[in-house]
Structure 1
């Protein structure tokens, strides 16, 4: 975790004047616990969409969804819900929102599809589902066009729609990181981490942003060629960030 990393870096700094590599502790490499990274991501979403009082007033807000999914726990989610509650909320609410997007998109293509059940009963082909999914990703998830939307005057903006786009994007980022960790896809974990570093900085989690930035820079740019090859080819470090105790698919866990 962060505390261990800070203590290790302090020890390396104090030992930097020693004569031998062993005494300088050059053999010690800090590896962040990815489970703590996942917890930090959930906390960043809480700071963005639940902690501010202004973020709870809109009827399309995440807190409004909490009132539907967990009506007796709105106070807990507004104060300090913890990782497990936030993880379940992100997963379940993300599924509900995407199903609603499927409903809207299916009805826009065929007014006869008033429900998702009627859309499923029409037995759409796989190509049709791909086409709908691609359209949804362009329409209901924030992309580069969000900046153009925000440049308009307030009277011409749909702020509820903009917030919904951002919420869908951040939930998908969290689910992608969680999926990559569960399946041991360390390359995708690193790619997702780059985006989360920016979110950490925006939500005041500067220590996590600094730690993950330094770790990625060390692996891909700072370490000498031999150590870098060892990490990539022999999987000594990068591929030991996640372990699979059971050996079953989708059961990788972050080392803690």
Structure 2
């Protein structure tokens, strides 16, 4: 009871009242118990850090301290700290290649026939899923998701680290955060790094950029893993196809027609944008199937099974509407051209979301290759550069 009251910010005097009434531990007992738990947890974390394989995720923690009785020497303040988590993971075989960047070339980033065939396979899967959702006669179709490199299901063990009174928004701040975690929190000796070990750090784009600056100065902390691909992709689609409220087919026009709020290119609301993209994709897929079956509807008497019909028509939709955008451009049909490009990008977005939920890292890597090229042409060059680093690491630098 005392721990619960303390965790909810209950004042000390209230806890003492409950203690005298026999309903709770005393405030001093709560503090003593929490300190013992903290020491025990910290000892366990240091054991894991010394003997297991792990990586670190950290980000800034910002909050305001509001002064209700404000004076010149008693103003509101803004506190910036850092929170971190150690995540245990599987060990790898091999060594880290320090000169891997010399092997990466343009051919590694270009879309190959194998990439295109993989995209067609997953697009067919998502189109058939849409067919099953909207047409009752096809609801019994068996449509298994493509599998490329599926992770084994395993619960991740996470260990929250003590918060740090360090502002990690600068290069110096990131250096201090890493030194504090390695030296003070985990207490790793220098000889721990003698066997070619590297510390993997995950963070947002600013964190990664600052850590790369630290590494260029001479600190070789290790490979950096950029996250949040889905949020970046959603923002890219919104900015590219937002258009104007008065332009039919633009996301701005669709959002107004559907009465959607919080859809703006200035401040991204991921959940609102994610929902809009999914609903627009669903409507586009439904319309594509309606058009595809206008002159070639399914009939049980045609000698073709429902599975064969769905595969054939989904392949036609892919060739015409997903990968066939140039056919509209040749006829100067800009509306259909832009619609086809939007359909293609939404297909990739839906595939990335599904691959993440499925834990198929092979499919995730396929989408990231497309995303790298898209971001190079947009206004998110920093993220595009990080994806190039990721490609280099996956192909040449990091052990499997």
TM-score normalised to structure 1 length: 0.68
Structure with greater Cα Rg: 2
**Aligned equivalent of 2:240:** 48
Alignment of 1:138 with 2:341, yes or no, is no
Structure 2: state its 5+ residue gaps: 1-203
Please point out which of 144, 166, 191 is paired with 2:341. 166
Please point out which of 351, 365, 368 is paired with 1:176. 351
Q: Which runs of 4+ in 1 moved over 3 A?
A: 75-81
**Aligned equivalent of 1:64:** 253
Alignment of 1:127 with 2:312, yes or no, is no
Seen in structure 2, the aligned counterparts of structure 1 residues 103 and 149 have a Cα distance that, compared at 3 Å, is: closer
**Aligned equivalent of 2:216:** 13
**Any idea what SS the aligned residue of 1:59 has?**
coil
Alignment of 1:95 with 2:246, yes or no, is no
Alignment of 1:205 with 2:371, yes or no, is no
Separation in 2, partners of 1:78, 1:216: 28
Using CA pairs under 8 Å that are at least 6 residues apart, name the structure with larger relative contact order, 1 or 2.
1
Question: What do the CA deviations read for 1:31-51 (whole angstroms, capped 9, x no partner)?
Answer: 112xx121110110111011x
CA offset at residue 6 of structure 1?
1.3
Seen in structure 2, the aligned counterparts of structure 1 residues 11 and 104 have a Cα distance that, compared at 3 Å, is: same
Q: In 2, are the aligned partners of 1:47 and 1:203 still within 8 Å (CA)? A: no
**Any idea what SS the aligned residue of 2:240 has?**
helix
Q: In 1, are the aligned partners of 2:263 and 2:272 still within 8 Å (CA)? A: no
**Any idea what SS the aligned residue of 1:107 has?**
coil
Seen in structure 2, the aligned counterparts of structure 1 residues 214 and 72 have a Cα distance that, compared at 3 Å, is: closer
Seen in structure 2, the aligned counterparts of structure 1 residues 86 and 8 have a Cα distance that, compared at 3 Å, is: same
**Aligned equivalent of 1:25:** 220
CA offset at residue 142 of structure 1?
3.3
- Which has more helix, going by share of residues? 1
Q: CA RMSD in A?
A: 2.5
**Aligned equivalent of 2:130:** none
Q: In 2, are the aligned partners of 1:197 and 1:213 still within 8 Å (CA)? A: yes
CA offset at residue 98 of structure 1?
0.3
CA offset at residue 61 of structure 1?
2.6
Separation in 2, partners of 1:128, 1:11: 57
CA offset at residue 79 of structure 1?
4.6
Alignment of 1:107 with 2:294, yes or no, is yes
Seen in structure 2, the aligned counterparts of structure 1 residues 39 and 78 have a Cα distance that, compared at 3 Å, is: closer
Please point out which of 203, 207, 212 is paired with 1:4. 207
Structure 1: state its 5+ residue gaps: 16-23, 114-118, 233-256
Provide the aligned length of Structure 1 versus Structure 2.
195
Question: What do the CA deviations read for 1:28-81 (whole angstroms, capped 9, x no partner)?
Answer: 221112xx121110110111011x44xx44323333322333x152x7446534
**Any idea what SS the aligned residue of 2:293 has?**
helix
Seen in structure 2, the aligned counterparts of structure 1 residues 102 and 7 have a Cα distance that, compared at 3 Å, is: same
Q: In 2, are the aligned partners of 1:142 and 1:168 still within 8 Å (CA)? A: no
